[in-house]
Amino acid sequence: MKQEAIQVSRGTLSLLVGAHQALIHPIAVAVAFRVLYSRWPSWREAICIAVHDWGYWGSPDMDGPEGKAHPALGGEIAGWLLGPSYRSWCRYHSRHFAKADGCEPSSLCWADKLGVALTPWWLYLPGAWLSGELDEYRLEAHRYHQRTGRGIPLSASNREWFLWVRGYLRRVAENRCGTVHADGTADCGATESTQANRRPQC
């Protein structure tokens, strides 16, 4: 009897071995959080950081309709464990979700972006290639380049593409939080209480 090959979704592979690997990416986000806000995440924030991308599990894409819906699961887990303010804080790490709900992105959003920028290429690229998501990200950057003249074309190497991504995401964090300096400090430190007050209550 012929056995069918097991198909594993791109989102699942991302969590297992790829750009959102369930251990490496949260560590990078926690380090970025420390850089941006001059403190380590509280234990509640650490739970949110750990689960914020779990919604990619089973998703056939990263930036398509299913992939863009990924914050919902992490938000529900955070809300169930920690309460509604953490549901929002986790859910609105996505600018897409925040905009759709008429809310500001949470401070987790900027740590999430900077976390990718702080990840070394030799750790990020092999995983993103293994999961298959690298092709999707590169095609999206190429389309952005065709539309705007910015971005980076498919003719660039993977390392050139990742260098562009790191610069772009660092600028996103800097525009929101101030300059991220070479010594690993930033200009947008905030206490836990002020960050809690900034959590969008939508």
The per-residue pLDDT for range 87-109, each reduced to its tens digit, is 999 999 999 999 998 888 999 99
Residue 132 placed within a domain: yes
Residue 136 placed within a domain: yes
The alpha carbon dihedral of 107, 19, 66, 6 has a sign of: negative
Q: pLDDT tens digit string along 39-73?
A: 999 999 999 999 999 999 999 999 999 999 999 99
Length of the chain measured in residues: 202
Quickly state the pLDDT bin for 176 (edges 50, 70, 90): confident
* CA–CA distance, 184 with 158 (Å, rounded to integer): 25
Residue 4 placed within a domain: no
Domain that residue 101 falls in: 10-198
Residue 172 placed within a domain: yes
Quickly state the pLDDT bin for 130 (edges 50, 70, 90): very high
Residue 60 placed within a domain: yes
Residue 37 placed within a domain: yes
Check pLDDT > 70 for residue 123. Answer: yes
Q: Quote the pLDDT of residue 177.
A: 72
Taking each helix axis as running N to C, give the angle between helix 158-177 and helix 107-117, from 0 to 180 degrees, rounded to the nearest 10.
150
Residue 3 placed within a domain: no
Residue 20 placed within a domain: yes
Number of structural domains (the chain) is 1
Residues ≥6 apart with Cβ < 8 Å to 156: 164
